[in-house]
Chain A
């Protein structure tokens, strides 16, 4: 055992020497997300990551837990740290699980930027350089205030990722923005499109007084569009959604969806790479967190969004 360990250690020393030599040519950054393989929304992030890697001439890698299990994600962060990259970009979907591995990576000398999930405060706590994203509660709240202005007083929140606390915060923020109690207005829709569609229809049949529907991303929005169409409620019921996608953009154009909250995920992958590369090459770092969203996308000026939806928007 002992000799084995020594040999391993020797290999490790050699490894450090080798990667050290490689660093002069291009930095290496790893982005770890919490999304399961099936979540297509993250494609935009992958594209942003790849483009930034190309433009900055650095190596980038994308990692995620195949089933979306956050405990697996913690292992991936540990693993990323063990491979000794220059920086790790990760989400903070559950601080309890992830803060340990992230802090260990920071302490091991790896620069970390938190994106997407989590809050600026939590990012500071784990020792990250900055937070790039859209504060979930605030975004939900802003949307709620907007909907209240449009006369909404009850709603259905279609939550397709109920195990993530941030998804619940969006619904909670929306309810608070409306000035009402969340109560039973949030449903756990699961991830399967036909299940989502049927659950939305079941809820709306059972609660015909519902004024508005809020979906949390394309995974829940796309089936909800179909559900409303089938029930003849398209354009009749107030419909807002988080995030954008091909079908969502079309629905906004058709007047089915009033607005989409764009957190501009592309920036969440692109900017950290740019920031980290500049920091490592020239020592310059922006002095604050970066809010990539929220931006409300409505039927006006949709063309550019439509063209790039699912790719860079």
Chain B
């Protein structure tokens, strides 16, 4: 894997996050290198969303440090993280369904063309770029004017990913992108992740589905009760072992036995 030749783009070391008396993160170490897909697995309540928000600049860590391209960074806001090149695609808040694909794609960074004293959105350019970027991700839009609401869940995730890639993300954080999708759409999103990885962007893929993680992951880190339980390389760990780590102990093996290994 070529990615191991590179230094991490983002490295988080010994991150702790306390909310008053509640310790949400209690020593998390995690890094992502260019061109790899690093899966972060954890059960509900393991601290995944606190972790994402810390990485994307929403929360400030109570202890520990974040290194971005080797330098210590203090993100004051999501905007800072975004400008540094950390893009986050949230589960629900990615898109505005009532607006067109183009308008969503360019939201906040609309290209303008000057006509006399006025600035108008350059829709020709915006539409062309949107169609092209979506095509690169393997989605042929009917029209760039079609509302995002008419797209499937997987396609919406893809628009959000394409948007982040187009605007120069170095690290892409995907928050449970497959959790609400059907089999076919999940496969599409996973193949999109694969395409993005090949362009040299580091991907943080958050999920609680071991099979989805195994399908595209280069490395796997398990988060349990606010702590990372170590990182494994692809091929060095079986799905069952990952599942057990997520559940936090051996009881999962017994449980799984009684469910005939279907979990």
Q: Do chains A and B touch in the complex (CB under 8 A)?
A: no
